[in-house]
A and B are shown apart, each in its own frame.
Chain A
Amino acid sequence: EDQVTQSPEALRLQEGESSSLNCSYTVSGLRGLFWYRQDPGKGPEFLFTLYSAGEEKEKERLKATLTKKESFLHITAPKPEDSATYLCAVLMTGFQKLVFGTGTRLLVSP
């Protein structure tokens, strides 16, 4: 069964304390992997797309990486405004629909 699993479910960091979020997937064929940020009461906001193993993308304090079985979202020296739920989604070959993980709730304390 096609599945996307994110860990941890929740993560609490102190400001400046770097960490990583994990997204592991078991799908028949990967067409693309997407990272989104979602604030409470809002729709997901697109962050990154990764298409092939070994690919990396960076934006400010965030860096996304991809292997054949998982993706990591690295957060370097986070700030309180980075607090949000981070969602991972996989687009499979031959399909138009995304399979979402349940997300990681990140809280960064000052």
Chain B
Amino acid sequence: DGGITQSPKYLFRKEGQNVTLSCEQNLNHDAMYWYRQDPGQGLRLIYYSQIVNDFQKGDIAEGYSVSREKKESFPLTVTSAQKNPTAFYLCASSQGAQPQHFGDGTRLSIL
């Protein structure tokens, strides 16, 4: 079955620690995205990549970093500079103007 796999499902971060969220897709989509979802707010775009080895900042990129070394993979690192990282993180992929398909998310909490 084609889809998007996010791992881990739950993640805990200590103060001053960087953590990396994994996102893998086997849909052969060119574009991949990272969103943050907070209660009562819409999905906010962190970073997106339209092609391998290229990515752009979204609306809330500060404190986050990404890489896109392979078409299938788009990991997100939440750095210690992100002061309010507790949220539900969603990864998505798409091809052209077709709808984005989402993974089942990673819930990040602070210890």
- Residues on A lying within 8 angstroms of B by beta carbon are 4, 31-32, 34, 36, 41-46, 49, 87, 89, 91, 96-98, 100-103
Cβ-closest chain B residue relative to A91:
B97
**Is B99 within 8 A of A103, CB to CB?**
no
**A43 with B58: CB separation less than 8 A:** no
Query: Complex: how many Å from CA A32 to CA B100?
Result: 12
A97 x B33 contact (CB < 8 A): yes
Interface residues of B in 1-18 (CB under 8 A from A): 4, 6
A96-B50 CB under 8 A given contacts A43-B104, A43-B105, A87-B42: yes
User: Does B43 sit within 8 A of A, measured CB to CB?
Assistant: yes
* Residues in A whose Cβ lies below 8 Å from that of B50: 96
CA distance in complex: A101, B41 (Å): 8
Q: List 16 A-B contacts (CB under 8 A).
A: A32-B99, A41-B105, A41-B107, A42-B104, A43-B4, A43-B92, A43-B105, A46-B99, A87-B42, A96-B31, A96-B48, A96-B50, A97-B33, A100-B43, A100-B44, A101-B42
A102, B41: Cβ atoms under 8 Å? yes
> Count of B residues near A, CB < 8 Å?
26
Please state if A32 and B42 are interface contacts (CB–CB under 8 Å): no
How far is B100's CA from A36's CA once the two chains are assembled, in angstroms?
Answer: 10
How far apart sit A31 and B100, CA to CA, in the bound complex (Å)? 14
**Known pairs A43-B92, A96-B94 / 8 extra A-B pairs, C-beta < 8 Å:** A32-B99, A41-B104, A42-B105, A43-B4, A46-B99, A89-B43, A96-B50, A97-B45
Give every chain A residue within 8 A of B40 (Cβ-Cβ).
102
Using A101-B42, A102-B41 as known contacts, say yes or no to A44 and B90 having CB atoms under 8 A apart.
yes
Q: Are A43 and B90 in contact (CB under 8 A)?
A: yes
